[in-house]
Structure 1
Amino acid sequence: MEPRTHWILSDVRLRVLEWPGEKGTILALHGLTGYAETFLPLIPALHPPYRVLSMDLRGRGESEQPADERAYGLQAHLRDIAAVLDALAPEGALLMGHSLGAMLALALAAERPDLARGLLLFDGGPLPSRAFSESLNQVLNARLEELPSLEAFRELVRAMPFLQPFDERLMPVLEAGLIREPDGRVRVKFPSRLGALEAMELGAIWNERLRAYAGRIRCPVLLLKAPVGALGPHDRFFTEEEERLLREVVPQVRIVEVPGTTHYTIVVGYHPERDRLARAFAEEVLG
């Protein structure tokens, strides 16, 4: 079914998609360069019976994009997420976060435990491995802000290594992140320079902040991790070091690898095993 659209006012205007359900609420938080539709391939595994919300973080998708670079960063996102939950799910929700969204879910669970009934993390939590960070920089640097046509965009994404083997069902999901100009040009909704700024901020502060959350995150937590990062198996997000840190902070975390996924397709792709694990965890947390 088509989702409803809500507009929530934090200190910016935020778009939230809602698939109504009768059992409990799940809030999806996308990654650094994502948007609400990133989670479309996963929605059928959860709705029905669960109510699923998926928001555009500030600057992404249809949410407001402040011109001031100081309007972005961890604290701004946490205020926005709390505003969305206070407005649409004051009883709390299962937080479902990918990459940056996983970091935000952990932070919110530590700082507003009344809003987090559980955490379903996709390939994220601590800072990523050095190999993944190097690959991510290549991806961000190569990410074209504007292309001459929609077909040029389609050719580009069909060749992206982290989307292989490419599934044509992904195309509408990927195209949801575009602005289409009257002359046929397309451009991404979120400038990568802002993503790079947020990545720099998190790189400087995040792991120490995460360590300070030790003992404060008490809800159930499941991490689904990918065996491939952005460019190949050598650059996976999680090495033993990242897993060790996450287990120190969240001793109750369960970690499961989803075969055949990359850092991106673990959310954007179509994977029955991921769907099964996500649905089972939702049933455990929300009933």
Structure 2
Amino acid sequence: MAYTEWGRPDNPRVLICVHGLSRNGRDFDVLAAALSGDYRVICPDIAGRGDSDWLADKSAYAVPSYVPHLLSLIARLDVERVDWLGTSMGGLIGMALAAMPGNPIRRLILNDVGPVLSAAALSRIGDYVGRAPHFVALEEAERYLRGVCPGFGPLSDAQWRQLTLSSLRPEGNGWRMHYDPAIGDAMRAQPLKTDMLLWPMYDAITAPTLVLRGVDSDLLSHATAEAMSRRGPCARHVEIAATGHAPMLMDPAQIGIVREFLVG
């Protein structure tokens, strides 16, 4: 497992930022830089993404496999407690960890994900993950990313280019997306007929929790986010305007929401 580290390595306050299904740890470069004065920020590439190894057993691309990977990472960091920020899949991993007895999570931020996963949204994501073409030009790759990820919100041209560059790996005379295409196959192998309900796991969480939701999100509904504020850890619920799935936390206002919850 590869990871990017920000801030002082001796800082006992550690924040782990975990990306979504087809993304990687460089999504958090702006946020990590902003918080590096308060935290040692760790941004891993989950197996099959970014600079981490691809799994030989493609069926293992699933949250139950990632939980022990992240526990091993926390042990490597040699800390007792961590704060956790997870976008989409990264939030599911965080929920699974935070629901375990004796878990190391002090504060939890769930970015556009919760205990009810929309089957329709997962089908939409499954339609494109792992099926990206070979790109000859960076402009072509950026148009593709903007097309499949409109929910990232009103990003600047520079931010879209930054996300595009971190999403690619060189291949031949061009680029491919920087993940194992088999993660899409693993997702499509067991399509959901109905929404996935994970309330027992969420209700077991005791850490203070913040839920961020893009107002146009198709993965996390407003009703689910509201219910999350009334049960389990009774999460604080904040909606991000002009954004769907999922807020990229590159905007100063969004970073301010995260900072206020973590450090006050």
Is TM more than 0.5 here?
yes
**Paired residues of 2:208 and 2:235 also in contact (CA < 8 A):** yes
Change (3 A) 1:200 1:41: farther
RMSD: 2.8
Q: Does 1:54 align with 2:43?
A: yes
- 1:112-261 matched pairs, under 5 angstroms: 113-140=102-129, 143-160=131-148, 161-163=150-152, 165-170=154-159, 171-181=161-171, 183-198=172-187, 203=192, 207-208=196-197, 210-213=198-201, 215-229=203-217, 236-243=218-225, 246-247=228-229, 250-261=232-243
CA distance in 2, matches of 1:136, 1:29: 18
With the length of structure 1 as denominator, give the TM-score of the two structures. 0.79
1:273 match: secondary structure: helix
- 1:13-28 matched pairs, under 5 angstroms: 14-21=1-8, 22=11, 24-28=13-17
1:41 match: secondary structure: helix
Gaps of 5+ in 1: 1-13, 230-235
Aligned counterpart, 2:262 = 282
CA distance in 1, matches of 2:85, 2:151: 21
**Paired residues of 2:3 and 2:42 also in contact (CA < 8 A):** yes
**Paired residues of 2:154 and 2:243 also in contact (CA < 8 A):** no
With the length of structure 2 as denominator, give the TM-score of the two structures. 0.86
**Paired residues of 2:117 and 2:196 also in contact (CA < 8 A):** no
CA distance in 1, matches of 2:124, 2:81: 35
Aligned counterpart, 1:7 = none
Gaps of 5+ in 2: none
CA distance in 2, matches of 1:169, 1:19: 22
CA distance in 2, matches of 1:280, 1:202: 38
Following TM superposition, by how much is the alpha carbon of 1:204 offset from its aligned partner in structure 2, in angstroms? 8.4
1:121 match: secondary structure: strand
Q: Percent identity?
A: 24
Aligned AA for 2:224?
E
CA distance in 1, matches of 2:7, 2:207: 24
**Paired residues of 1:128 and 1:238 also in contact (CA < 8 A):** yes
CA distance in 2, matches of 1:128, 1:76: 19
Aligned AA for 2:3?
V
Aligned counterpart, 2:89 = 100
CA distance in 2, matches of 1:15, 1:238: 29
2:103 match: secondary structure: helix
Following TM superposition, by how much is the alpha carbon of 1:70 offset from its aligned partner in structure 2, in angstroms? 3.0
- Deviations 1:109-154, CA, capped at 9 Å, x for gaps: 112543101101110122433443343244437x514222333213
Following TM superposition, by how much is the alpha carbon of 1:80 offset from its aligned partner in structure 2, in angstroms? 0.4
Aligned AA for 1:219?
A
**Paired residues of 2:126 and 2:188 also in contact (CA < 8 A):** no
Following TM superposition, by how much is the alpha carbon of 1:38 offset from its aligned partner in structure 2, in angstroms? 1.1
1:114 match: secondary structure: coil
Change (3 A) 1:156 1:274: same
Change (3 A) 1:254 1:206: same
Change (3 A) 1:107 1:200: farther
Structure with a larger share of its residues in helix = 1
- Deviations 1:51-85, CA, capped at 9 Å, x for gaps: 10000001111111023213322221001000000
CA distance in 1, matches of 2:94, 2:254: 19
How many residues align? The count is: 260
